[in-house]
């Protein structure tokens, strides 16, 4: 679905490389998290996926399309939608349904088809009842869900979330993470850039970026087991794993857990 083949990138010919020799492969339906300290190159990598940036060296293919082919860029952006940090910057209309309709209108679809796509997309983010509301009256989490609906209305195969929860309060973050997991369960490929380690735990596979390179990659359990290396890269192990490890060392038999609710459930089942 997404392949990076020895990709390097610099913003300015006079500046050093911001990404160096990145190779990776993301399969259809994957849920991949990208973590790393500030400035490690996560956002740059995300923008390379949907051709907002073009590699300085190497090649990127999205659904077989090369991001270097200008003729393919439109197709790539249709298939790979992006959700950014600030929900306010992504709202383009003054009524929710007009906002969500913006993409399909640009595709030149018939009015009835647009209506259908808007309704489906709003259902997909549980926001149908807000269809005629002005987006600026909504909470941050709700606005992000409208932005996600805008992407869904394009029927994407991939959604890239670039720190999409970082401006939200905990309940807004949870709303967006719930939607994200639901979309992944429906088969949409998810690339989640986040500085919340708990969010990365939800992914199937984690890439850790450091100074423009992929420093580590593996399942969340494999990655967060490497505490020393993470600390050296200014990253923390999620609290839930620290707590579980502590309990295990003190003789509490626990299966690996990623979510508080699961830990509580396991603890309650102990005899």
For ligand ADP (CB under 6 A), the number of binding residues is 10
Q: In the complex with ligand ADP, which residue's Cβ is closer, 42 or 173?
A: 42
Q: By CB under 6 A, is residue 234 in contact with ligand ADP?
A: no
Among 2, 22, 43, 205, binds ligand ADP (CB under 6 A): 43
Least distance from ligand ADP to the Cβ atom of residue 40, Å: 4
Query: How far is residue 161's CA from residue 108's CA, in Å, rounded to a whole number?
Result: 26
In the numeric block, the tokens 């009524």 are attached to: 95
Q: Does 67 help bind ligand ADP (rule: CB under 6 A)?
A: no
Distances (CA, A) of 3 to 24, 30, 53, 242: 6, 13, 15, 34
- 41 part of the interface to ligand ADP, by CB under 6 A: yes
Which of 2, 7, 26, 44 is in the footprint of ligand ADP by CB under 6 A? Answer: 44
Task: Summarize the chain as % helix, strand, coil (round to 5).
Answer: 45, 20, 35
CB of 211 to ligand ADP, least distance (A): 9
Q: Looking at 33-41, 85-93, 115-123, 254-262, which segment touches ligand ADP (CB under 6 A)?
A: 33-41
Q: Are strands 158-162 and 80-83 parallel, antiparallel or unpaired?
A: parallel
> With the C-alpha atoms ordered 60, 62, 64, 67, is the resulting torsion angle positive or negative?
negative
Binders of ligand ADP among 6-25, rule CB under 6 A?
11, 18
Rounded distance between C-alpha atoms, residue 252 and residue 78, angstroms? 49
Binding to ligand ADP by residue 74, rule CB under 6 A? no
Q: Considering only the stretches 24-32, 40-48, 78-86, 219-227, report the one whose residues sit in contact with ligand ADP under the rule CB under 6 A.
A: 40-48
Backbone angles phi, psi at 9, to 5 degrees: -150, 135
Sign of CA dihedral 138, 184, 66, 34: positive
Residues that bind ligand ADP (CB under 6 A): 11, 18, 36, 38-44
């Amino acid at each position: 679905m997404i392949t990076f083949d020895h990709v390097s990138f610099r913003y300015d010919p006079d500046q050093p490389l911001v990404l160096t020799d990145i190779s990776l492969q993301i399969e259809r339906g994957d849920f991949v998290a990208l973590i790393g300290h500030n400035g490690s190159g996560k956002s740059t990598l995300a923008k390379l996926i949907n051709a907002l940036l073009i590699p300085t060296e190497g090649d990127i293919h999205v659904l077989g399309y090369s991001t270097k082919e200008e003729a393919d860029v439109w197709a790539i952006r249709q298939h790979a939608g992006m959700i950014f940090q600030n929900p306010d910057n992504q709202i383009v209309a003054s009524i929710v349904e007009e906002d969500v309709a913006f993409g399909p209108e640009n595709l030149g679809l018939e009015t009835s088809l647009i209506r259908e796509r808007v309704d489906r997309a709003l259902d997909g983010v549980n926001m149908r009842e807000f269809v005629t509301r002005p987006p600026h009256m909504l909470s941050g989490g709700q606005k992000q869900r409208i932005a996600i609906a805008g992407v869904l209305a394009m029927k994407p195969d991939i959604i890239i979330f670039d720190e999409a929860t970082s401006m939200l309060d905990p309940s807004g973050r949870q709303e967006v993470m719930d939607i994200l997991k639901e979309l992944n369960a429906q088969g949409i490929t998810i690339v989640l850039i986040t500085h919340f380690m708990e969010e990365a735990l939800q992914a199937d596979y984690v890439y850790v970026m450091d100074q423009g390179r992929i420093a580590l990659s593996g399942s969340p359990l494999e990655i967060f087991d490497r505490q020393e290396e993470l600390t050296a890269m200014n990253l923390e192990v999620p609290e839930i794993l620290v707590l579980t490890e502590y309990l295990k060392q003190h003789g509490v038999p626990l299966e690996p857990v990623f979510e508080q609710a699961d830990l509580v459930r396991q603890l309650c089942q102990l005899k």
